[in-house]
């Protein structure tokens, strides 16, 4: 099934963002953020590729990619999601704040939790254990 042009553009933007953050920082995918059952059917390299693919397109990363494109340089990037961020997305947002030199806020609307990422770290209590490479 082919993607529609806006969907294709968002997917490409998301891929480029992840590649950029990975090349500029120590970010790497945290496959532990995926459910165990997600990976049990795959073996070896296929398992790793499947995990990277899934994590690249998490809704939070798509939202961040779109917000980075829409927010003028120098301004705070604001994202709202209706789910709790997984550890991988939380790490990605921290590393993205470092790679892009931008403050990024993320509000988890369901829990009302607010994260403020700047210079590679977050203001939430998870900051002590999250970004191991920051």
DSSP-assigned beta bridge partners for residue 104: 77, 117
Q: Which two tokens stand for residue 10?
A: 């968002």
Question: What would the pLDDT profile of 7-30 be if each residue is shown by its tens digit?
Answer: 888 899 999 999 999 999 999 999
Which pTM was predicted? 0.85
Map out the domains of the chain as residue ranges: 5-128
* SS3 of residue 33 by DSSP: helix
For residue 45, the model assigns a pLDDT of 61
Residue 5 to residue 19: CA distance in whole angstroms: 21
- Closest by CA to 80, choosing from 110, 56, 58, is 110
- Does residue 129 sit in helix, strand or coil? coil
Cβ-based burial of 9 (10 A; exposed 0-12, middle 13-18, buried ≥19): middle
**pLDDT tier, 41 (very low <50, low <70, confident <90, very high otherwise):** low
pLDDT in tens, 42-64: 666 677 788 888 899 999 999 99
Indicate the pLDDT class of residue 124, thresholds 50, 70 and 90: confident
Cα separation, 134 vs 123, whole angstroms: 14
């Amino acid at each position: 099934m082919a993607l529609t042009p806006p969907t294709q553009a968002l997917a490409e933007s998301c891929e480029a963002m992840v590649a950029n953050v990975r090349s500029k920082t120590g970010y790497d995918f945290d496959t532990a953020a995926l459910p165990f059952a997600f990976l049990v059917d795959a073996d070896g390299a296929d398992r790793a590729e499947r995990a990277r693919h899934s994590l690249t397109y998490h809704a939070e990363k798509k939202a961040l990619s779109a917000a980075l494109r829409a927010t003028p340089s120098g301004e705070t990037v604001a994202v709202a999601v209706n789910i709790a961020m997984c550890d991988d997305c939380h790490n990605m947002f921290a590393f993205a704040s470092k790679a892009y030199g931008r403050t990024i806020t993320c509000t988890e609307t369901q829990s009302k939790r607010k994260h403020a990422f700047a210079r590679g770290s977050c203001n939430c209590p998870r900051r002590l254990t999250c970004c191991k490479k920051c």
